[in-house]
Each structure stands twice: as C-alpha cells, then as structure tokens.
C-alpha cells in the first residue's frame, strides 16, 4: 500500500479516467504542454510566489536521479515564479505525471512519488490554502520524494500480425530486436526494437512494413514487461518504375538512367540510398530525395520518385596555400556542371606557385582544361579528358611543355573504381644533366579503394591507390619505361566522439626501364620532402643530390607519416606528427643518409567545408641544405 500522500502510476491515471481491470497498460507518449500558471488564477495572485524545491530519489542510479530532476517542471521553472498559490500547486501536480513517465522510461513501473507543498501533499485539496499561508514567511518549501522500487526487466517478446492480432511466424530473428528476457525494460530499448523490426522487414523487401501498434504490459508481481509488436508487413516488392521531379536543365530520362536500377531488383533501404548517391554524384543538384510510392503496384513493384533541386550551372572559385619552404600557391577556376544537359562538367583551372620565396623566373605556372562525361557507356562509366600547358621550376629542374590525357573510369562499387587511358606529353627539360626534349606516350592504368567517412577529414576507413603507367617507343614515346606508385592511408577514431584520431600513410614508387637516373625525364623522377611528403624539409629536398648539392631525383621512393589528431573543442584541434622516408637513385635503396625524418605540431580550425591546416615542422636529420624549420598552411588534413 502506498504511504499517505504518495501516488503510483495507476492512482494518477485513476484521477483522469475510469479504472481498467487487468494488468496496467504502459503506453509510450510524449509529455504534453503544462497548463499556464495564469490559467484560472485570481487576479490577486498575479504578484508571483517564490518557492524552493528539493528532490530525493531512493533506489535507481545517478542517471535515474538526473533524469527525474530534468523531468521536473518545478526544478526547470524555479526561477519563473508562478502567479500565486494555485499556480504553484498546479505546477507541482503536473510533476506527478512527468516524473512517472521518467520512471517508466527507465523501467521503474512500480515507483512511488510524493510531492508536498509546505508539508501537504500536492494532491490534497488543502494544498492551495497551505501554500498561500506559507508564502508570506518566505519561499514555499516543496519536497519531491521518489521511491523508484524495482527496475522491471523484459519478459516475453511477441511479434503479432496486425490484422489478426495473433502471433505470426515472420522471417525475423527476434534476438535482433535487442530485447533479451531479463534485460532492463527501458522505454528507449522498446522504441529502438520497433525501429529495428521495421528496418529488418524493409531489408527483406517489404517497403511499406510498419508496426501499427505495440502493447507493453507490466507484470508487477514478477517485475517484468511483456511486449507485443503488431506488424503489418505489406507486400514484398521489387524496385519499380523510376520517375524524376524538379529537373529542368538536366534531362530527366538521363537522371533516371543514372539511377541504374536493374529490372527485378528487390526493394531495400540500401538500394534506395545507392540510387540517391548515384544521382547526387552528378554534382548538378542542391538536393536529391528518393521517395517511395504509397502502395505496391499490380506488378509487385514499388515505384520511386527522384526529387531534385538543380544547382546553378556555372561556378567559380579561388584557392591558396603557403609554406615557408615552397612559397605561396594561388589558383582559380571556372566551370560549368551541365554543358549539354546530361551532367557533363567542363572546367578551366589556372595556377601560379612558388610565390614570395623565389624570383619571377622561378615561378611555376599551370593552365588546364578538363571535361567529364558521366554515363559514358553505362551508368557506372565516365569519360575523362584533360589538356594542360605548364612551366615547372622546382630546384631540381625547369620543364616547359603541354600534354593531355583521355581516360575511361569505371566505378565498380561505391568504394572501388578503376581507370585506363592514354597520355601524350611533349616537353623541354633543363636539369643537372643538360637540356633535353621528350615526347612521352603512356597508358596509365590505376585503381583505388576508399572506405573513409569524409573526404577532407576522415575519422575511419582506408584509402588505397595504385597506378602503373608504361611508356613505349612503339607508341611514339622517346623512351621505354614503366612508372608504378602506390599509397595506402588508414584512419581510426580512438573514442566514440571522434576527438582522438590516429592516421597513417605509406607511399612507395619505382621506375623500371632506363639504365640510370639521367635517362629518366626529370619531372618523372621521384622526389621527397615538403608539405605533401616529409614536412620540415624543402620541397623535393629529401632526394638524391650531386656532390655539389644539386638535386637529381631518384627512381625509387618510400615515405611514411603518422598523425595524432586531437580535437580540443568543436572548432580547434592540434596534431602532433612524424614524417619519414626519401627518394633513392639506386635500384635497391638502403636506409642511409638519404632516409630522413621530420616532426612537428599542427593546428586545425574546423569549418563546414573542412579543417584549415597550419603545420610547423623541424627536420630531425638536418643536413647542410635543409632549413631549420618549415611552416605549411592549407585546407583539409595533410592526408
């Protein structure tokens, strides 16, 4: 029996509706608005009445106590004075239901709640008079005492047919609901189980599956909660006709084709997400939504509607980066993302680099035009074309020339893609071995894998790429050689909040064919050092040199980096890092004086488009040609 002034859930309900026989029915609901303290309050009480509130919870844990405190309007509105005694009592009475819901949500269905105003139960009709009498003596004391009682546990879990109300065999393993008998009967677990049930049915091809209602019966004798889900599975369906809404400049039939829905594809949320990603990949839309129809058609298909909002077709941008060793780089671009109405992208880029740290004659220039045709052969194939003219003036060489590439890209999955193409380049190069003119004709073949969760700031996953490009004289190339280079980087968050991330990268490359480094065009040799390689050293500075210090470059490369990315606040982070490696002129490189290490500390400022990076690094194996330190500024993580 409840103590005088204490109320159970059933007693609270009895004040509001006729009593029901049988076990208590525990229904999920949201707390409604609490009536205003001004409602029906006499005008004489409008001056406000001060009060204090104390909350004592017996049983449960600290989390339960905090949940109860957070649910109390008396506590939340303590600084907002009610209009008078009646308003104060109404506020106290409303807390009975709010606290009971907090108890129920954590599985305490037999809890007792006692709320007293100046020593009198808030449910007592004398409470208003007592509060009015106590007010002149100072803040009215209010006490809330909660006896949590036993925490109920899950009893039986039943999946029932919504139409018949009877238990029905379904192709669902009830254990996947995470409602194992004997586990705490928290409300959120029941709600999550309902969502899992619907998700599981949709994964099996039932697009309109829904839980029409659920019944949770609290057995007070055994302190268990028996749960029944009434499921309407609907019909199993394939993906049906795909239509497009909102497209004007982009051809709607092309958008539907790029969705790449194969006849007979079983419906699943994963397939719907894939369709959205395929259309989003066109980069011509502000937003893309995929909406299922309200019913399965006579052919057993669920029609889909792709709703798009187009972006402005033309775009322009500017970018900049800086390092104390390489100088500043400025670039700009103009583009069109829907040239012929099928998502074709055309872009012109211009770049000048090595500014402020070099003379005008040592600046590097690049002018590039690129074109991409999505859906070239099939929806997963793209045609890529690029033409460029350049002048490069790093310390190792000066190269002036022009070239172009045409490539076919296939996206095998959302993580794996491959490319094959033809590259032609004509250039004049001056280096330590003199001035030479080259014509290079190659067949670049590459593959990549990317399972990361963010392009500019990944917290998990792996990136891997490998490119092999043979150049052959029978194709018109000046020499026979093959260049191979691969990179693997990995990312792992050490905590759930992703504030501590370990990142690592390894790159290796080799050039086969020429008998010695001098025969390889200088701009195709391997170099290490600089912001994108081994920080703390000059750009290309960790590379083979002549005895007089002039850079030569190598035909082998290996570099590695590790970073600890620590997020201090939502916008600020620090990154201690270590880089190592080098470029080598021998076919079997040894980790000798050419292998160097650099270490430093970075600052990150996180923005909506990615982190702004500032790195300061020092060479750990400083040689006569190496700087004392180096500074790097850019957008995005270092790798």
Kindly report, residue by residue over 72-92, the tens digit of the pLDDT: 999 999 989 998 999 999 999
pLDDT for 288 beyond 90: yes
pLDDT of residue 120: 94
d(CA 379, CA 374): 7
pLDDT one-digit tens code per residue, 113-170: 999 999 999 999 999 999 999 999 999 999 999 999 999 999 999 999 998 888 877 7
pLDDT band for 173, please (50, 70, 90 cuts): confident
State the sign of the Cα–Cα–Cα–Cα dihedral 239, 244, 250, 251.
positive
pLDDT band for 40, please (50, 70, 90 cuts): very low
CB 7 within 8 A of CB 201: no
pLDDT of residue 592: 58
CB 264 within 8 A of CB 238: yes
pLDDT one-digit tens code per residue, 499-508: 999 999 999 9
CB 244 within 8 A of CB 255: yes
What SS3 class is residue 606? strand
Which element (helix H / strand E) includes 272?
A: helix 269-280
pLDDT one-digit tens code per residue, 511-560: 999 988 999 999 999 999 998 899 999 989 999 999 998 999 999 999 99
CB 578 within 8 A of CB 570: no
- Mean pLDDT over all residues of the chain? 89
CB 140 within 8 A of CB 51: yes
Spell out the alpha helix ranges (H) of 2-126: 9-16, 62-71, 73-76, 85-105
| Mean pLDDT score, 593-620 | 91
Q: Do domains 153-232 and 314-635 have the same CATH topology?
A: no
pLDDT band for 588, please (50, 70, 90 cuts): low
Fold for the domain defined by 153-232 = Ubiquitin-like (UB roll) (3.10.20)
Fold for the domain defined by 238-310 = Ubiquitin-like (UB roll) (3.10.20)
pLDDT band for 37, please (50, 70, 90 cuts): very low
φ/ψ of residue 312, rounded to 5? -65, 135
> Is-above-0.95 flag for pTM?
no
For the chain, give every domain's residue range: 6-147, 153-232, 238-310, 314-635
| Mean pLDDT score, 463-471 | 98
CB 523 within 8 A of CB 397: yes
pLDDT of residue 361: 78
Architecture in CATH of 314-635: Beta Barrel (2.40)
CB 510 within 8 A of CB 471: no
């Amino acid at each position: 029996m409840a103590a005088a002034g204490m109320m159970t859930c059933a007693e609270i309900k009895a004040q509001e509706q006729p009593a029901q026989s049988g076990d208590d029915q525990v229904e999920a609901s949201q707390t409604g608005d609490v009536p205003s303290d001004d409602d029906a309050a006499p005008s004489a009480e409008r001056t406000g009445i001060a009060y204090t509130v104390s909350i004592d919870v017996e049983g449960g844990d600290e989390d339960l106590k905090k949940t109860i405190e957070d649910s109390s309007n008396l506590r939340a509105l303590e600084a907002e004075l009610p209009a008078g005694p009646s308003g104060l009592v109404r506020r106290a009475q409303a807390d009975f239901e709010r606290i009971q819901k907090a108890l129920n949500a954590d599985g305490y269905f037999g809890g007792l709640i006692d709320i007293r105003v100046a020593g009198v139960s808030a449910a007592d009709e004398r409470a208003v008079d007592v509060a009015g009498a106590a007010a002149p003596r100072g803040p009215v004391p209010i006490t809330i005492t909660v006896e949590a009682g036993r925490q109920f546990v899950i009893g039986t879990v039943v999946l029932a047919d919504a139409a018949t109300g009877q238990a029905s065999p379904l192709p669902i393993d009830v254990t996947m609901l995470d409602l194992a008998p004997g586990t705490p009967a928290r409300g959120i677990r029941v709600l999550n189980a309902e969502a899992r049930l619907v998700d599981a049915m949709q994964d099996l091809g039932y697009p309109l599956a829904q839980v029409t209602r659920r019944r949770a019966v609290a057995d007070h004798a055994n302190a268990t909660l028996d749960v029944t889900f009434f499921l309407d599975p609907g019909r199993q369906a394939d993906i049906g006709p795909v239509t497009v809404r909102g497209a004007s400049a982009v051809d709607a039939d092309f958008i539907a084709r790029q969705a790449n829905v194969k006849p007979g594809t079983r419906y699943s949320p994963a397939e719907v997400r894939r369709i959205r990603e395929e259309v989003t990949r066109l980069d011509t839309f502000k937003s893309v939504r995929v909406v299922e129809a309200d019913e399965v058609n006579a052919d057993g298909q669920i029609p889909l509607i792709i709703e798009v909002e187009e972006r402005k077709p033309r775009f322009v941008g500017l970018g900049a980066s800086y390092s104390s060793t390489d100088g500043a780089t400025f670039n700009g671009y103009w583009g069109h993302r829907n040239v012929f109405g099928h998502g074709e992208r055309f872009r012109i880029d211009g770049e000048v680099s090595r500014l402020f740290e070099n003379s005008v004659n040592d600046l590097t220039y690049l002018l590039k035009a690129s074109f991409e045709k999505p859906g070239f052969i099939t929806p997963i194939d793209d045609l890529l074309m690029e033409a460029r003219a350049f002048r490069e003036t790093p310390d190792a060489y000066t190269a002036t020339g022009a070239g172009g590439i045409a490539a076919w890209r296939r996206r095998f999955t959302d993580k794996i893609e491959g490319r094959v193409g033809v590259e032609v380049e004509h250039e004049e190069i001056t280096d330590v071995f003199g001035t030479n003119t080259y014509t290079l004709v190659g067949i670049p073949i590459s593959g990549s894998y990317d399972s990361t969760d963010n392009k500019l700031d990944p917290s998990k996953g792996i990136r891997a790429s490998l490119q092999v490009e043979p150049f052959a004289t029978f194709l018109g190339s000046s020499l026979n050689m093959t260049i191979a280079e691969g990179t693997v980087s990995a990312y792992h968050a050490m905590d759930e909040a992703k504030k501590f991330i370990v990142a690592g990268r390894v790159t290796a490359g080799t050039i086969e064919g020429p008998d010695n480094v001098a025969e390889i065009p200088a701009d195709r040799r391997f170099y290490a050092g600089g912001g994108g390689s081994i920080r703390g050293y000059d750009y290309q500075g960790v590379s083979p040199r002549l005895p007089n210090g002039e850079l030569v470059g190598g035909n082998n490369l290996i570099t590695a980096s590790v970073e600890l990315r620590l997020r201090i606040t939502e916008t600020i982070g620090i990154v201690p890092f270590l880089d190592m490696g080098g470029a080598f002129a021998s076919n079997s490189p040894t980790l000798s004086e050419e292998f160097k290490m650099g270490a430093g500390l970075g600052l990150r400022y996180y923005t909506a488009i990615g982190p702004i990076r500032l790195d300061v690094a020092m060479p750990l194996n400083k040689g006569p040609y190496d700087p004392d330190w180096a500074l790097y500024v850019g957008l995005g993580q270092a790798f």
